[in-house]
Each structure stands twice: as C-alpha cells, then as structure tokens.
C-alpha cells in the first residue's frame, strides 16, 4: 500500500463518516461537493471533510482508492457509498436515511423528510 493509500485508508477507517470533497464543509469549492455537503449539513450528520484541492496526492489517490473517477466521495463506516448523483438519489429515495440508521449515524429525520418534500412537490 502506498503512503497516500495508507493515509486515505486511515482516514476512512478512523472516522465514521468521511466526505472527500473540493473545498471544505464550510466552503465547498464546486457544485457537486456543495450539494453533498449541503445534504449532510442540513440533516445534521457529523462528518470529517477532506479537501482534495489542498493535497494533489489525495486528489488523485482517492480516485484510485475507490476506483471511482469523480469527487466528491462519501464513506460511511469504512465503506464507499458514492458520489453526488448517488447521494442525491439516496437522499430522495430515503435510502440514505436507512443506511445512516443501519450504521448508527445520528441524523435529523425531519430535515431529511423536508428535503424529500421540497423535491417531490
């Protein structure tokens, strides 16, 4: 395992929820990262953000690590969940709620329901 792979692996395994993103949860630097961070922030998930723009090795390394070509990438309990489109679909279908609950990740169910109501109206 390369040094960057080991760093990514440690981050993914040492934190319950990790979002590899462009920018930070307070200041996303791209629309896709902003959308996923916005969902997590709105529903109150505690997560670790990793700014891939601050580290070129991580920026490329995370794509190799997950075998997924795009950023952002969400991990829960060491497992790759997906990128922006997948997280959006999971949020709207309620699948994200189930996955978070199954992994004992606290979140605001009412806020998640509000996202669905706003998008199904």
Binding residue positions for [2Fe-2S] cluster: 30
Query: Distance between CA atoms of 75 and 85, rounded to whole angstroms?
Result: 14
Query: Distance between CA atoms of 62 and 86, rounded to whole angstroms?
Result: 17
Query: Distance between CA atoms of 76 and 71, rounded to whole angstroms?
Result: 16
């Amino acid at each position: 395992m390369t040094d960057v792979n080991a760093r990514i692996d440690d981050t993914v395994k040492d934190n319950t929820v990790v979002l590899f993103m462009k920018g930070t949860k307070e200041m996303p630097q791209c629309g896709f990262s902003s959308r996923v961070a916005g969902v997590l922030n709105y529903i109150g998930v505690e997560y670790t953000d990793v700014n891939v723009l601050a580290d070129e090795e991580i920026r490329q390394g995370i794509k190799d690590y997950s075998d997924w070509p795009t950023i952002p990438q969400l991990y829960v309990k060491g497992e790759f969940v997906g990128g922006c489109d997948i997280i959006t679909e999971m949020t709207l279908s309620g699948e994200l709620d189930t996955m978070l609950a199954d992994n004992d990740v606290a979140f605001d169910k009412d806020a998640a329901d509000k996202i669905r109501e706003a998008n199904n109206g």
